[in-house]
Amino acid sequence: MQESDEQLQAQRCHQGDTDALAGLREQFHGRLAGILMARGATRTETEDLLADLWADCVPGDDDRPSLLEKFNGRCSLQSWLATVATNRLIDLKRKQKRRGDGAVIQDEGDGTNFFERVAAPVSSIGESELTELLRDSLQKAFTACSEEGLLMLRLVYLHGLSQRDVARLWNCHESTVSRVLNQALAQIESCTLEELKLKDPWLTLNWQDFLDLCQTQEVGFL
């Protein structure tokens, strides 16, 4: 489905078209459920979160606007919905931790309760917990990156210099620049994922998940 079609579909939903919402749910519910469970949600949490998500996609009786009014079409609708759901999952897990009642929600499949998964501290007011989590983890990874590697990344990816141009600046072979860049990128990837796991041990993200969430949340890299 093209982005224009997705925006039209979202518009019909936030105007209160129940048939459009039913089609949206049929198209994305299974995919979103798979994404949430892969990222650390239990089956019960997944169903509850998605039930609330679909309910929020149509205007409420109390003049509450549809959640889909916030969809701007700059990413796929599935990616956007997955990010909203993931943000709500993080918020749910952290609220459970603060209340100390994590054992209440239990996955019927593996018997693992939330109390065995330690959540991160409360995030600051003003931005989503997901945005803060992604940014903080990435910034921590940058601090572990060498100054040389970080500078080369900036020159290549922000300022558009070629690796040959950077090699001339460093008076070295182009292969040296390539090796430093690859090492820096690999270190940033591993450190970021390690920091995510330290902050929220229950959360399971791979690097592509992280990149997708950053794109949807508009989290800057450098």
* Number of independent structural domains in the chain: 2
Residue 125 sits in the same domain as residue 115 = no
Are 10 and 114 part of one and the same domain?
A: yes
Q: 114 and 125: one domain?
A: no
pLDDT at res. 139: 93
Nearest by Cα to 39 from 138, 99, 117: 117
User: What's 61's domain CATH number?
Assistant: 1.10.1740.10
How high is the mean pLDDT of the chain?
Answer: 83
At which of 119, 140, 164 does a domain end?
Answer: 119
pLDDT confidence band for 143 (50 / 70 / 90) = very high
Whether the per-residue pLDDT at 27 is higher than 80: the answer is: yes
Could you tell me the pLDDT band of residue 218, with boundaries at 50, 70 and 90?
low
Q: How confident is the model at residue 113 (pLDDT cuts 50, 70, 90)?
A: very low
**Containing structural domain, residue 14:** 3-119
pLDDT at residue 63 tops 90? no
**Domain identity same for 93 and 58:** yes
Domain boundary among 102, 119, 136: 119
Tell me how far apart the alpha carbons of residues 94 and 6 are, in angstroms, rounded to a whole number: 32
Check whether residue 109 and residue 59 sit in a common domain: yes
pLDDT in tens, 64-104: 888 888 888 888 899 999 999 999 999 999 888 888 754 44
**Which range has the worst mean pLDDT, 36-40, 126-130, 144-148, 173-177?**
126-130
* Alpha carbons within 13 A on the beta-carbon side of 170: 20
Residue 97 Ramachandran class (φ > 0 left, ψ -120 to 50 alpha, else beta): alpha
Residues 96 and 143 in one domain: no
Q: Are residues 132 and 216 part of one domain?
A: yes
pTM for this structure?
Answer: 0.76
Amino acid at 100: G
Q: CA 194, CA 201: separation in Å to the nearest integer?
A: 9
Q: Which pLDDT tens digit goes with each residue over 161-211? A: 999 999 999 999 999 999 999 999 999 999 999 999 999 999 999 999 999
